[in-house]
Amino acid sequence: MKAQFWSFDAVFGIILFILGLIILTYAWITISNGYSSVSSNNAGSMQSELTKLNYLIFYPGNPSNWDSVINVSNPTTWSGISAGFGRLSNPNDLSQSKLLSFWAMSNINYSLTKETLGISYDYYINISSNNFNLDLGRNPVSFNPTSIDVVSEPVIINGYPAKLTLEVWTNTTFGIE
């Protein structure tokens, strides 16, 4: 009876079991490392786009009078511009005219405004003060985001201090679009 346990079939079964365990462990480690890599790369990508958006907000745009060059109700006139809201004289002083033009644009064609800003993630911009409150883009609260990067900056609107909050967000799995 003892010799039957160590027969060729039992040894072959043990080898197959160990080989399966090794393959499963390798697959687990590979998938785990891949997930970690995707998550960290995506976080860097979102942070990079947030930094880029933060820079563009204070930039006057190209051309610097883009709000008077385009027709906000006609998206075909938006091509070739780079939206920015700053003034040439003082970058922290945001142009209310540019902000309102972009607000109208984002309400007409949100996807095209993402292209105008040069970002691929969704965005939400809030500018608030005692006498001014403006929301641009899509508020992530309404879309169940899986990842959000946020930055706040002090700004000036019409000579009054205000608070600018920028959010870059996604609601896709692992942030992959």
Pairing of strands 147-157, 93-94: parallel
27-40 pLDDT tens trace: 777 776 655 444 44
**Per-residue confidence band for 24, with pLDDT thresholds at 50, 70 and 90:** confident
71-129 pLDDT tens trace: 988 998 888 888 889 887 786 889 999 999 999 999 999 999 998 888 889 999 999 98
160 contacts 132 by C-beta, under 8 angstroms: yes
Length of the chain: 177
Domain borders along the chain are 43-175
